[in-house]
Amino acid sequence: MFNPEFIGYSFPTKTVNVEEGKLKFFSQTIGETDPIYLDKDTAKDQGYRSILAPPTYSFSLTLEGESLRDKYEPIGLELGKLLHGAQSFEFFGEICAGDTVIIDSKIVDIFQKKSGALDFCIEEMVVKNVEGETLAVLTQTFIMRH
């Protein structure tokens, strides 16, 4: 059961370097064929700083350097009972290979449904560049069954 005392809890801020190799691998894995996501020269010719990150890559950055177990067990997450609920993305700027991003993450809500058979935990993650400009706001919903 998710612990409702964690509503409003902010996780430690995370700083992540956007590595070109990981970014290319992600783009290839999702079947991206547009060269702005795969080739630095093409991306620069199109006006980007370097290889452009596909929009959902920002979520992958939130997972860098930690395990779900280590991050979420203190709030009551049991991986064996975890279901994927939902994800939403709002984009405000581009992320490119070589960038450094800062990710702030907090629990915005914890509640129950289905007569208490399901727990829900909603997390919001704000991805900013080193200048403090918001690049993306990501929201994910975890569902845990009893």
Apex 3 CA angle, 124 and 108, nearest 5: 20
Sheet holding 14-17, edge to edge: 14-17, 100-113, 118-129, 134-145, 82-91
Q: Identify the pLDDT of residue 125.
A: 98
> Is 4-145 assigned to CATH 3.10.129.10?
yes
Domain locations along the chain: 4-145
Average pLDDT per 10 consecutive residues for the chain, totaling 146 residues: 95 97 97 97 98 95 88 90 94 98 98 88 98 98 92
Q: Identify the pLDDT of residue 138.
A: 98
Q: Identify the pLDDT of residue 28.
A: 97
What DSSP string runs through 17-29? Answer: E--HHHHHHHHHH
Q: What is the reported pTM? A: 0.92
Q: Identify the pLDDT of residue 57.
A: 97
